[in-house]
Structure 1
Amino acid sequence: MSVTKATVHVCATISLLVLMVETVRAQSALALYGELDGGLAWLNNVGGRRQYKVTSGLIDGSFWGLQGFEDLGGGSKAIFQIERGLSMTSGNSLDDHPFYVGISSETLGTVTIGYQYDPIHDYLAPFTMTGGTGGTAFAHPFDNDNANNSYLAHNALKYESQSFSGLRFGGMYALSNAAGRFSNNRAYGVGASYQDGPLNAGAAWLHVSGVGSNESGAYDAMTMYGAQRSVFDAIVQSRDSYGVGVTYAFSGVTLGGAWSRSTFTEITDSNGGSEMPSMGFSNYELNAAFQLMPSVSLAGSYTYTKGSNQHWHLGGIQAVDRLSKRTDVYAEAIYQRSSNDAPALINGSDPSSSRNQLLVGAGIRHRF
């Protein structure tokens, strides 16, 4: 009789342990995911010559990632995300995706710490073509407002609220990490978005100071402005970017618009170190997306950018055919025309030798 009781006790204990393991599993999750984007492109003028090239990330940068959470109880959970960008053409890894860990609460919002996107990405970019369906080549000249995520913030603390009747808001502070130089190479900004049925709107502001003044700070000078060095061989110490955007959806059509302003001050020549004039860019964009068929969508945009003494016109169109839930093919054409004294440079490409540049491309994307 005692053996039977012992056996029952052992079986009950094993069953309880199994139940506890299954409960723990149910309270946490881990996902491996990513995207690969490769294609072909033709440009009419790169340094005075035509260019044919294999592309990586013509719309979205290719990457892989790990994301997970652990339920902490009381409506809270620990979260993390690790992503690594990569080039489909060279195989090189890229630091263009976030790494962070944090705590999320159903009532209090989410706090994260790490290498992260800024409020421009979170609250303004979704209303632009480059931050929405269009991707890389539709970025405003030199990605001056960072709507295409040319750089992320190191040492960043972020907060994002839960939704209050469609309203969300948040902010970021990226520390300099320099002893005795708290304000050198730091960044901070805020943003908010609102959704009410078919109407969506958002606004954001970001300030960056002392860029590259220390190696452990919020931004590295080469990373932040590397894409512009072929045109503006300069180091920028301070910048402000801000803007607003709105979209309205109806009957398979989404109409949108965005305005942003970026100012760059404390500019020095990267060779001689001499001071250079401040620069400013204002971007005015109109965009639209159409769901032509269940698997086929069409989108386009026009942006006028006014610089300090220069201007740019940027227009493009893009078609996407979803072959499955994970795979699609796309084609696009983007044209940029600048004023006589300004370079034409479609984002992700090398500059034209004239005031015009045309890109025609096609590719395939797969998500896993």
Structure 2
Amino acid sequence: MKKLVFAMTLLSAAAAAQAQSSVTLYGEIDNGIAYESGLPHGHALTAETADFIPSRFGIKGAEDLGGGTQAIFQLESGINTQNGALTIGSSLFNRNATVGLTNPVWGTFKMGNMGAYELSQDSFDVDPQLMQEYALATLVRGRNWAQAGNGLEYTSPEIHGLTVKGQYDLGNTTSWNQGNPGSVPGQLGNAPGSGLPGSTQGRSDGLKVMYIAGNLELLAIYDEIRDGNGQFDNVYLNSRSLLTGGTYTMGPVKVYAGYQHLSAPDASNIGVYGTAGTPTTLPNGVSLPTAVDHEWLGAAWQITPATALTSGVYHANANNGNGNATMYTLGGTYNLTKRTFLYSEAAYLHNSSTSNIGLGDGYTDSYGANINDDPASGSTSTAPNFGHSQEGIYAGIVTTF
């Protein structure tokens, strides 16, 4: 009898321990097809991944420590589900690798690789296209897709609708602003190992404030991304960003509006091209921009419980003669089940005579002339020629687990 009681006690203790801890495997797979025209050499029909949402898989868990406090962790990898490759530098847990503590009274603290959860990516809350391929990050050449490593993050509990989140990402070197030797392949800046300035990402930090009251949601994000030399050397990658926006819900319709200012006071042609001159064919009077103003307005309409329609207009104006661009978007989703939905979005992007922003994500259409504009030194960018437009449409399916 004593043995039976002892065995039952052990089983009860194991069950209690299991109830106090949890580990969850999760992810999304997004595959589709896209057609774009206005590319440097014509048009393209392509198989796509992550046009609506990043394809990814991850593991997250929590352990109850008592008194409402939990130890938490998250490991997350981005994947290209067209070829099976890892994304973002091919690191295994490239999107997130953090551990921390959370409590409903004092908030949540995390440490580790923030990865794709760098603060600027929280701007999807005020984006009518929810940071899809043609959305808030497009006209700023992917600046809102910033990455962050070596990070510390604190999120406050919600107090009367107000939540504050802060991030600080250490450089891990004796120089305060240097280190954090990650880079974003293909974006504006020189390749790692080139020996030219601006080849790596340096220290980053930021602060987010969100306020929700009834149907109103307000958001403000300030963040800084420095280059490996501790400078703000280009506006589309290593810069200061101030973003503000809000939404208001009226029945089935949600209205979006916002503004973003990017600043890179240390930007110079030498910081990008590696010489004092400009070894590429830019329009007369154009040099590397040091500031961009970005505005947008849009709406989402939940037509039925399964069907939604989204639209948005985005406009950006860059200084130093770089002109302006306007993008018009229309998209929609249809839920097949709670876990699986279809999506589509169309966009038209119009450039002024000295602008050549494309429908890419900043990786494929970085700043500067493409090989059409400058066969000798232009890049293989997918951006259009200066003053030309681009059109695109894509459709796909997402399933979550």
TM range (shorter): 0.7 to 0.9
Q: Which runs of 5+ in 1 are unaligned?
A: 1-7, 229-235
- In structure 2, the CA distance between the partners of 1:274 and 1:263, relative to structure 1 (3 Å rule), is same
2:152 aligns with: 157
TM-score normalised to the size of structure 1?
Answer: 0.86
- Trace 1:31-46 onto structure 2 (pairs within 5 A): 31-46=24-39
In 2, Cα distance between equivalents of 1:172 and 1:365: 30
The answer to whether the Cα contact below 8 Å between 1:145 and 1:260 also exists between their aligned partners in 2 is: no
2:99 maps to amino acid: V
SS of residue matched to 2:10: helix
Q: Which residue of 1 aligns with 2:243?
A: 243
- Residue 15 in 1 paired to residue 17 in 2? no
Once the two structures are TM-superposed, the CA of residue 165 in structure 1 deviates from its matched residue by: 1.4
Q: How far, CA to CA, are the matches of 2:310 and 2:359 in structure 1? A: 18
Q: 1:25 aligns with which of 18, 28, 31?
A: 18
Q: Give the Å deviation of 1:142.
A: 5.0
* Separation of aligned partners in 2, 1:45 and 1:355: 7
Question: SS of 1:104's equivalent?
Answer: strand
How does 1:82-101 map onto structure 2 within 5 Å? 82-95=75-88, 97-101=95-99
Deviation per CA, 1:121-177: give whole Å up to 9, x if none.
23x3310135x2x51221344545733x2x311101000001101110021110000
Tell whether the 8 Å contact from 1:140 to 1:303 is kept in structure 2 after alignment: no
Q: What is aligned with 2:190?
A: none
Check 1:145–1:168 CA distance in 2 against 1; reply closer, same or farther (3 A cut). farther
| CA displacement, residues 201-222 of structure 1 (integer Å, 9 cap, x when unaligned) | 110101223x1349xxxx9x9x
1:106 aligns with 2:104: yes
- The verdict on how the C-alpha distance between 1:145 and 1:194 changes in structure 2, with shifts beyond 3 A counting, is farther
Distance 1:50 1:183 in 2: 42
Amino acid of the structure 2 residue aligned with 1:363: G
CA distance in 2, matches of 1:271, 1:244: 32
SS at match of 1:137: coil
Question: Which secondary structure does the structure 2 equivalent of 1:265 belong to?
Answer: coil
Superposition map of 1:172-191 within 5 A: 172-178=167-173, 180-184=174-178, 185-191=202-208
Contact 2:299 2:311 (8 Å CA) reproduced: yes
Letter matched to residue 98 of structure 1? N
Tell me the distance in 1 between the aligned counterparts of 2:315 and 2:324.
7
Instruction: Identify if the C-alpha distance between structure 1 residues 163 and 145 changes in structure 2 by more than 3 Å, giving closer, same or farther.
Output: farther
Residues 144 and 48 of structure 1, relative CA distance in 2, 3 Å threshold: closer
**SS of residue matched to 2:176:** coil
Contact kept in structure 1, 2:341 and 2:398, CA below 8 Å: yes
Match of 1:232 in 2: none
More helix by share: 1
How many residue pairs were aligned? 338
What secondary structure sits across from 1:25 in the alignment?
helix
Give the 4+ runs in structure 1 shifted more than 6 A: none
Higher-strand-fraction structure: 1
Match of 2:198 in 1: none
Matches within 5 A, 1:233-272: 238-267=238-267, 268-272=270-274
Q: Structure 1 residue 182: deviation in Å?
A: 1.8
Q: Is the 8 Å Cα contact of residues 265 and 278 (structure 1) preserved in structure 2?
A: no
Residue 70 of structure 2: aligned partner: 77
Q: Distance in 2 between matches of 1:145 and 1:264?
A: 15
Between the two proteins, what is the percent identity of the paired residues?
A: 23
1:286 aligns with 2:281: no
Match of 2:396 among 348, 363, 367: 363
Q: In structure 2, what residue type is equivalent to 1:69? A: A
Asked if structure 2 preserves the Cα contact closer than 8 Å seen for 1:36 and 1:88, the reply is yes
Stretch deviating more after TM superposition (70-79 or 110-119): 110-119
Instruction: Look up the SS of the partner of 1:94 in the other structure.
Output: coil
Following superposition of structure 1 onto structure 2, how do residues 30-69 of structure 1 map, counting pairs within 5 Å? 30-69=23-62
Instruction: Give yes or no for contact 2:141–2:360 (8 Å, CA) kept in 1.
Output: no
Match of 1:351 among 383, 392, 395: 383
Separation in 1, partners of 2:350, 2:82: 28
In structure 2, do the counterparts of structure 1 residues 190 and 145 end up closer, same or farther at CA, with 3 Å as the change threshold? farther
The structure-2 alpha-carbon separation of the partners of 1:143 and 1:12, relative to structure 1 and needing over 3 Å to count, comes to farther
1:155 partner letter: N
Mean Cα deviation higher: 273-282 or 313-322: 273-282
**In structure 2, how many angstroms separate the alpha carbons of the residues matched to 1:259 and 1:87?**
31
Structure 1 Cα separation of the partners of residues 20 and 360 of structure 2: 43
TM-score, with normalisation over the residues of structure 2?
0.79
2:161 is equivalent to residue 166 of structure 1: yes
The answer to whether residue 117 in structure 2 is matched with residue 115 in structure 1 is no
1:200 maps onto 2:233 in alignment? no
Query: Of 333, 339, 342, which aligns to 1:329?
Result: 342
In structure 1, distance between residues paired with 2:272 and 2:303: 49
Deviation at 1:331, TM superposition (A): 1.5
CA shift digits 1:74-97 (9 cap, x unpaired): 110011111100112222101352
What amino acid sits opposite 1:167 in the alignment?
L
**1:212 matches 2:228:** yes
Write the letter of the residue equivalent to 1:319: G
Amino acid in the other structure paired with 2:75: I
Aligned-residue CA RMSD in angstroms?
A: 2.3
Question: Structure 1: how far apart are the matches of 2:396 and 2:318?
Answer: 32
The answer (yes or no) to whether the contact 1:345–1:352 under 8 Å persists in 2 is yes
**Secondary structure in 2 matching 1:320:** strand
* Aligned match of 1:5: none
In structure 2, how many angstroms separate the alpha carbons of the residues matched to 1:13 and 1:153? 50
